[in-house]
Chains A and B, each alone.
Chain A
C-alpha cells in the first residue's frame, strides 16, 4: 500500500493552520475583552484615588511636623511612583490611627537581590508547585 503523501501534507498544513487560527482568534478575543475591562477598571478607580491621595499629599507638603524619611532618592523613580508610595504610606498611617501630617523627603530603591528568607520562600513555592 503506497503512502498518500498529498493527504499527509494536507493534514500537516491544515492542522497547523487550524491550530494557529483558533489560537489567534482567541488572542484577539481575549485582548479585546482585556482592554474593555482595563478601561472600565481605570474609570472606576480614577475618581476615588484623586480625592484622597491628593489631599493627603497636599496636607503633608504644607506642614512639617512628622517626617517619614525613606533614604536617598534615585533618579529613575518617576513622579507617579513617588505619588503612589506617598498614597500608600498615607493609607497605612491613617489605618493605624496616626493623623499627624508627614513629609516624604526621599524614596530609595533597595537592591534587586531578595533577602535570604524571601529567596528561600520563593524557591520553595516555585518548586512545590
Chain B
C-alpha cells in the first residue's frame, strides 16, 4: 500500500517539470522565466506596448516550462505498406507515396495508432500563422482600417520623410553583416529600424525564423521607448529656430481622393516590389474598407475582433519561439544593440531629411516631423508634437507629423519587400 503510494509520488516527481528545472540545462529555463517575468512587469507596470508585450512575455514563460511541450513538433510514424492491394484506405490510415531516386514509388501509411505518434503542441499549430506569414498581413488589415491617410494625401511630400527614415534599416544591415550574421539574419535584424512590429515579424518569419523571439522583443521594446530614444536625437540635430517653425494648415481631402489612394498605392507598390504585396495589399484593403464607407461591419470586425484575435495568437507564439537555447546567446545582445542602432539612425535620417526640406521650402517645413518617418504609429508623431510644443506651446505639429508617420508604414513595407526579394530562398 505505502510502496504503491511512494512509487506514484516518485514517478510524479520524476515526470515533473520542477525536477527538469534543476537538472542539466534547466537553469537556462529559470533565467528565461525570470526574463519573461521582467517583460510581464514592463508590460503591466510600465505599459510598454502591453497589447503585444504581455502575450509575448507569457508565451516565453510557457515555452520555458520544461516538459510542457507547447511548441513541440508533431511526430509522425510512417510504416511501409506490406501489401498494397490489401491496404484499405477506409481504416483511416493516411497513405504517403515516396518518389524514390530510381523512379520507383514506395508506399507508406501514417500509423496514428503507434505509441510514437504524437500531435504537436498547441502553440506549434498557432505558430504556423507566423511561420507562413499569415498573421502580420491580417494585423495590417486592421491597421489599414484604423489609419487615416488624409494628412499624407494633403501633403504628399511627407512620403519623402517616410522613405528617408528607412535609411536606418539599410545602414544597420551593413552593421549586422559586419558582426557576422548571415545575410538573411542581418536583413531581419535591420528591419527593426522600420519600427513596425508586424513588418519585422513578417520579414523575420520569412528569412530567419529562429531569431523571431529576440527580434520581436527588441522591436516592440524600442517602439515603446520611442519617447525616450527619439527626443535627444531630434534636439541634437535641429536648431531652436527650426524646431519653432509653425507649418501652414493642411488642405481638406475629399472622400474620392481617400478612396482612390489605397488603390493607387497598391498598384504602384505591388507592381514595383511584388514581395511587399501581402503587407501593403492588406493594409490598403483595410483602408479601402474604411474609406469606402459601405462595409462598416467588415471594418468593425477587421479593426476589433479579428485584429485582437490575431494579436493574441501572434504575441503568444512569437514569445514561444524564445526558448532558452535560442534566446540566451550572445546573438541576442547583438540584436538588441543593432536594433537600437537601427532606430537611432532611422530617426536621425528622418530629421536630417526634414532639415533638407526646411532649406528647400524656405523654412516652411519643421524638421521635427522627419523623425515620425520611422512609423511606430502614432507614438512617433506624438513625439514630434511634444518636442515641437516645448519650443512653442501653440504649435500643433501632430497632423503634419502623421503624414510621414503613415508614409513610414508604407516605406518599411517596401523596404521589407526589397529585403525579402533579395534573400528569400
Contacts and interface: CB of A to CB of B under 8 A. Distances in A.
Contacts of A63: none
A113 interface: yes
Interface in A57-92: none
A30 B273 CA distance: 19
Interface in B217-272: 251, 253-254, 256-257, 260-261, 264-265, 268-269, 272
Contact of B269 (A16, A22, A112, A127): A22
Contact of A112 (B152, B153, B187, B394): B394
B394 A14 contact: no
A18 B272 CA distance: 8
B382 A23 contact: no
A4 to B, nearest CB: 8
Contacts of B71: none
Nearest to A31: B156
Interface stretch (B56-64, B160-168, B311-319, B329-337): B160-168
Given A33-B264, A129-B378, 12 more contacts: A11-B418, A12-B174, A18-B273, A19-B415, A23-B414, A25-B268, A27-B156, A27-B160, A30-B153, A33-B257, A34-B253, A37-B256
Interface of B: 152-154, 156-157, 159-160, 162-163, 166-167, 169-171, 173-174, 177-178, 183, 187, 251, 253-254, 256-257, 260-261, 264-265, 268-269, 272-273, 378, 382, 385, 393-394, 396, 398, 407, 410-411, 414-415, 418-419, 422
Contacts of B160: 20, 23-24, 27
Contacts of A33: 257, 260-261, 264
Given A3-B178, A37-B254, A114-B394, A22 B273 contact: yes
A24 B118 CA distance: 53
A95 interface: no
B411 A23 contact: yes
A19 B394 contact: no
A7 B422 CA distance: 10
A122 B157 CA distance: 26
Interface in A1-51: 3, 7-8, 11-12, 14-16, 18-27, 29-31, 33-34, 37-38, 41
Given A22-B273, A25-B268, A31-B156, A14 B418 contact: yes
Contact of B272 (A11, A22, A37): A22
Given A22-B414, A23-B159, A27-B156, A113 B394 contact: yes
Interface in A91-128: 112-114, 119, 122, 126-127
A74 to B, nearest CB: 18
B159 A24 contact: yes
A19 to B, nearest CB: 5
A37 B253 CA distance: 9
A20 B91 CA distance: 59
Nearest to A128: B382
Given A21-B272, A24-B159, A37-B254, A15 B170 contact: yes
A8 B163 contact: no
A93 B317 CA distance: 62
B392 to A, nearest CB: 10
Interface residues of A, number: 34
Contacts of B177: 3, 8
A12 B193 CA distance: 14
A113 B398 CA distance: 18
Nearest to B261: A30
Given A23-B160, A30-B153, A126 B398 contact: yes
Q: Which of A30, A38, A119 has the most chain B CB atoms closer than 10 A to its own CB?
A: A30
A3 to B, nearest CB: 6
A16 B162 CA distance: 12
B51 to A, nearest CB: 16
B162 A23 contact: yes
B414 A19 contact: yes
Contacts of B174: 8, 12
Contacts of A112: 394
Given A7-B183, A22-B268, A15 B407 contact: no
Contact of B166 (A8, A19, A25): A19
A78 B254 CA distance: 26
Given A3-B177, A8-B174, A27 B414 contact: no
A113 B394 CA distance: 7
A41 B254 contact: yes
Contacts of B253: 34
28 contacts: A11-B419, A14-B422, A15-B166, A15-B169, A15-B415, A16-B167, A18-B418, A19-B163, A19-B414, A22-B269, A23-B159, A23-B410, A24-B160, A25-B268, A26-B156, A26-B410, A27-B156, A27-B160, A30-B156, A30-B159, A30-B264, A33-B257, A33-B261, A37-B254, A114-B394, A126-B398, A129-B378, A129-B398
A9 B419 CA distance: 13
Given A26-B156, A30-B156, A11 B422 contact: yes
